[in-house]
């Protein structure tokens, strides 16, 4: 995928922060209210907004968001080339990545089938870039104008962080760290020699 530039959005000025700490923007509708939270000392706060006039979704996070620079790392490594056709750009404020913009997508009817197909691409990108997308799975595969499109793009880390991030996830969140079992097995057997 060719990116012309990472740019600052033309989003209207932040108006204020409401009583729960959620940033409010002019002309955008807040879609999620439950993402304002911390886990221990880590800021996991993020929000989704929709611009109904332009059919765009804005994913916005704080300056202190735990994964604020992960998307930039993935884009520079070309990890998502061809996998995010709805992607429009990265949001910056004072030189800090604050989120990104995508055209609105819908749930994909064939996400189960595409999980395997796109999973092969994700595994190849992991080999090539030494990055892994822990959040990849069928529930992150959407449809954009008939093309599969991944969402939740900041869920990516360097492969050498795998063990630490897995332990951290188990302590702070619980449950599965890698959503797609085939990918988990690939990561642990191919790169990490971790007994499952």
Does residue 15 surpass a pLDDT of 50?
no
In this predicted structure, what is the pLDDT of residue 3? 37
Per-residue pLDDT tens over the stretch 160-175 = 999 999 999 998 888 8
Confidence of residue 195 (pLDDT cuts 50, 70, 90): very low
Long-range CB contact pairs, 74-79, < 8 A, 24+: 74/129, 74/131, 74/133, 74/153, 74/154, 74/156, 75/3, 75/6, 77/129, 77/131, 78/1, 78/129, 79/125, 79/129, 79/131, 79/133, 79/156
Share of the chain above pLDDT 90, in %: 60
In this predicted structure, what is the pLDDT of residue 1? 37
In this predicted structure, what is the pLDDT of residue 2? 38
The two three-digit tokens of residue 28, written as one number:
């955008």
Residue 27, by phi and psi: left (phi above 0), alpha (psi -120 to 50) or beta?
left
Where do the H-state alpha helices sit in 38-178?
70-76, 111-129, 162-172
For the four alpha carbons of 25, 27, 30 and 35, in that order, the dihedral sign comes to: negative
Range with the largest mean pLDDT of 11-15, 87-91, 102-106? 102-106
Task: Of 7, 54, 9, give the one whose Cα is nearest residue 28.
Answer: 54
Query: pTM score, two decimals?
Result: 0.84
DSSP bridge pairs for 28: none
Which residues lie closer than 8 Å to 20 by C-beta, 6 or more apart? 33, 36
Determine the average pLDDT of the residues in 66-92: 95
140 versus 190: the higher-pLDDT residue is 140
Per-residue pLDDT tens over the stretch 97-152 = 999 999 999 999 999 999 999 999 999 999 999 999 999 999 999 999 999 999 99
């Amino acid at each position: 995928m060719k990116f012309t530039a990472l740019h600052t959005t033309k989003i209207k000025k932040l108006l204020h922060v409401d009583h729960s700490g959620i940033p409010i923007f002019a002309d955008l509708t807040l879609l999620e209210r439950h993402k304002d939270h911390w886990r221990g000392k880590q800021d996991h706060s993020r929000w989704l907004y929709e611009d109904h006039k332009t059919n765009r979704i804005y994913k916005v996070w704080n300056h202190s968001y735990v994964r604020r620079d992960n998307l930039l790392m993935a884009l520079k490594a070309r990890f998502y080339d061809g996998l995010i056709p709805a992607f429009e750009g990265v949001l910056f404020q004072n030189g800090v990545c604050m989120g990104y913009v995508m055209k609105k997508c819908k749930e994909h009817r064939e996400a189960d089938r595409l999980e395997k197909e796109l999973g092969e691409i994700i595994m190849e990108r992991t080999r090539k870039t030494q990055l892994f997308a822990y959040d990849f799975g069928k529930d992150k595969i959407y449809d954009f104008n008939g093309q599969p499109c991944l969402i939740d793009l900041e869920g990516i880390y360097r492969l050498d962080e795998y063990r630490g991030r897995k332990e951290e996830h188990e302590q702070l969140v619980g449950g599965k760290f890698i959503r797609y079992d085939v990918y988990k097995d690939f990561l642990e057997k191919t790169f990490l020699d971790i007994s499952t």
